[in-house]
Amino acid sequence: MINQVMLVGRLTKDPELRRTMDGKAVLNATIALNRNFRNSYGEFEADFVQCTLWNRTAENTAKYCSKGSVLGVVGRIQTRSYENQEGKKVYVTEVVAETVKFLGRKPTEDRELQPVNNE
């Protein structure tokens, strides 16, 4: 069996590092992934994938990345369930990261607004 996924996308918000009861670092992040086709209105859409990072990977991501940072994530898909406050079973599908590469920071407004001269 193979359970491996590779994603490249942008963080949707600044990462917030937490610790488990036994002191392990954990970070839950959402990565936005652009689709490579247009919808019926001619617009590109995105998928938002929940990722869980552990230990040193979580600590480094919280330290060096922020909203808009581009990450490359290699990991595995995991599903779990829990009961919410109303007693309903909630299913969660997420990517548990094994490797994270920092591929770029969010472009600054100055860099985004400068036109490119191809003459």
**Whole-number Cα distances in Å, 62 to 8, 14, 91, 100:** 17, 8, 26, 12
Residue 108 lies in a domain: no
What number of CA atoms fall less than 13 Å from residue 91's CA on the CB side? 3
Q: Is 18 part of a structural domain of the chain? A: yes
- Domain span at residue 43 reads 5-102
Give a yes or no: residue 110 inside a domain. Answer: no
**Is 11 domain-assigned?**
yes
Q: What is the CA radius of gyration of the chain?
A: 17
Task: Note the pLDDT tens digit of each residue in 8-28.
Answer: 999 999 999 999 999 999 999
Q: What is the arithmetic mean of pLDDT over 52-75?
A: 95
Tally the domains of the chain.
1
Q: For 36-56, write each residue's pLDDT tens digit.
A: 888 889 888 999 999 999 999
Look at residue 44 and tell me if it is in a domain: yes
Q: How confident is the model at residue 106 (pLDDT cuts 50, 70, 90)?
A: low
CA-angle at 51, arms to 42 and 48, nearest 5°: 15
Phi first, then psi, for residue 80 (nearest 5°) are -150, 170
